Amino acid sequence: MIAPASVHIIDDDPEFGRIVRQMLQPAGLKVTVHASAEEFLDNFAATADAPCCVLLDIHLPGISGLALLEKLHAQGVRLQVIVVSGGTDIATVVAAMKAGAADLWEKPLLPERLLHGVRLAIDRDTRQRCVVARSAHVRDRVAVLSGREKEVLELMVAGQSAKQMAAHLGITPKTAMKHRSRVLDKFGVENSVLLVQLLGSQSHRAVPLPPMHVSPAALLPTAICP
């Protein structure tokens, strides 16, 4: 069972955290309030299964909101972070966006905008997690192919028939069909069309693949893709 989407509030003002929690919890969101960036880093797992977003006060004691953004960015942690502040100069806004902030809001927050913006951020996070999961899924399956099977995979994606693959590789059509069958088995799909759809826009190949035309969820049962 997939955990509910969560919102992490990082703000040293307990009243702000309390108000935002009251606004978001009725929508079925799990809300966690962190009084500092240090507390957030100690308690948050970036690899959590549930999609999430972060509401970050840019002016925090200790590690500032901007420093936290830069730290996460440097570590390759990609979160949907919405920076909130009572007032921020242009230089800080630019720095926050460069460090990966998804948006910047000024306090006080209107309930309608808060909920709508949080939902959009969580949707972006869900899609991002889906792309990462699909990439890992494909990468793992490519890794178990033999050298010959990888050659056959390239030709399958290019749309070649068994006879064409055989001529290209200098093997018999029957052998080409056996290799093709093994590739399909290792990817867990029934035919070449589904294989191409699964590979989608993955970048394990030198030649770009066609875009994915089916829902990733249909091919990744454990993914959180909508």
Q: What is the pLDDT of residues 109-148, one digit of tens each?
A: 888 899 999 999 999 999 988 888 888 888 899 999 999 9
Domains in the chain, CATH or no CATH each = 6-132 (3.40.50.2300), 137-219 (1.10.10.10)
Rounded mean pLDDT of 203-218? 34
pLDDT digit string, tens, across residues 162-173? 999 999 999 999
How does residue 210 score in pLDDT terms, banded at 50, 70 and 90?
Answer: very low
Residue corresponding to tokens 């970048």: 203
Q: What's the pLDDT band for 211 if we cut at 50, 70, 90?
A: very low
Backbone φ/ψ region at 220: left (φ over 0), alpha (ψ -120 to 50), beta? beta
DSSP code string of the chain:
-PPPPEEEEE-S-HHHHHHHHHHHGGGT-EEEEESSHHHHHHH--TT-SS-EEEEEESS-SSS-HHHHHHHHHHTT----EEEEES---HHHHHHHHHTT-SEEEESSPPHHHHHHHHHHHHHHHHHHHHHHHHHHHHHHHHHTS-HHHHHHHHHHHTT--HHHHHHHHTS-HHHHHHHHHHHHHHHT-SSHHHHHHHHTT--SSSSPPPPP-S-HHHH-TTS---
Looking at per-residue pLDDT, the higher value among 1 and 222 belongs to: 1
pTM of the model: 0.70
The alpha carbon of 7 is separated from its chain's Cα centroid by a whole number of angstroms, namely: 16
Res. 46 pLDDT band, cuts 50 70 90: low
Q: Which residue has the higher pLDDT, 202 or 33?
A: 33
141-172 burial, b at 16+ Cβ within 10 Å, e below that, comes to: bbeebeeebebbbebbbeebebeebbeebebe
